[in-house]
Structure 1
Amino acid sequence: MEDEARLTAWVRGTVQGVGFRWFTRARALEIGGLSGFALNVRDGRVQVVAEGPRAACEELLEWLRGSDTPGSVQGVTEIWDTPRGGYEGFAIR
């Protein structure tokens, strides 16, 4: 059985008002096996919480840091933890 993980990432840059949360959800669903959410934070960042297989979380993190995201990502800070559960699918908040 693959290791399960919880990724919490804060994405900085021009990431609000450009469809970033929608594309993050779409990418998480495309990767598969992930649950969690993408949320606009008052300071202009987007918070992404993803739980599922560690490899899937790492793939989402790689996408968040890549050049294929909407807007302009200036940086991503992440924290890894054990899954807490309680998410139905992957939501936009």
Structure 2
Amino acid sequence: MSATHTVSVIVKGRVQGVSYRAWTQAEARARGLSGYVRNRDDGSVEALFSGPPEAVDHMVALCRSGPPAARVTDVSLREGGDPPETGRFEILRG
């Protein structure tokens, strides 16, 4: 039985309008993670990652750079929380 690790992150910098959400979804799905990513009103991006601890940790590390056009200045992390109800990784709107 493998453990499931869940974290939420807030990514700040130039992360909207640079395909950060689509990139995050592709990277998370490639690692078998579930959760979501969405833009926030303050210009940051919020994501929830849930899955094997190694895959979650790797995804958080990737978020520190993001896609090529992004300029990440900060990634804040909150450990734990409830895993998503669906087994998919989705882009949430609004």
The TM-score, its normalising length taken from structure 1, stands at: 0.89
Alignment partner, residue 47 of structure 2: 48
In structure 2, relative to structure 1, the CA distance for the partners of 1:10 and 1:69 (3 Å cut) is: farther
Q: Deviation at 1:82?
A: 4.6
Give the drift of 1:64. Answer: 0.4
Q: Could you say which residue in structure 2 is the equivalent of 1:29?
A: 29
- TM-aligned CA distance change 1:70 to 1:30, over 3 Å: farther
**Runs of 5+ unmatched residues, structure 1:** none
Corresponding residue of 2:5: 5
**2:78 paired residue number:** 79
Once residues 81 and 47 of structure 2 are traced to their aligned partners in structure 1, the CA distance between those partners, rounded to angstroms, is: 15
1:67 Cα deviation (Å)? 6.0
Q: Which runs of 5+ in 2 are unaligned?
A: none
Offset of residue 88 of structure 1: 3.6
Post-superposition CA distance 1:36-56 (Å, at most 9, x none):
010000000000101111111
Deviation at 1:30, TM superposition (A): 1.4
Deviates more, 1:83-92 or 1:44-53: 83-92
TM-superposed CA distance for 1:4, in Å, is 1.0
- Stretch deviating more after TM superposition (81-90 or 47-56): 81-90
Shift of 1:87: 2.3
Query: In the aligned structure 1, how far is the partner of 2:27 from the partner of 2:55?
Result: 11
Task: Output the TM-score relative to the length of structure 2.
Answer: 0.88
CA distance in 2, matches of 1:24, 1:69: 12
Q: Using the aligned pairs only, state the percent identity.
A: 29
Deviation at 1:13, TM superposition (A): 0.2
Q: How many residues align?
A: 92
Give the aligned CA root-mean-square deviation in angstroms: 1.6
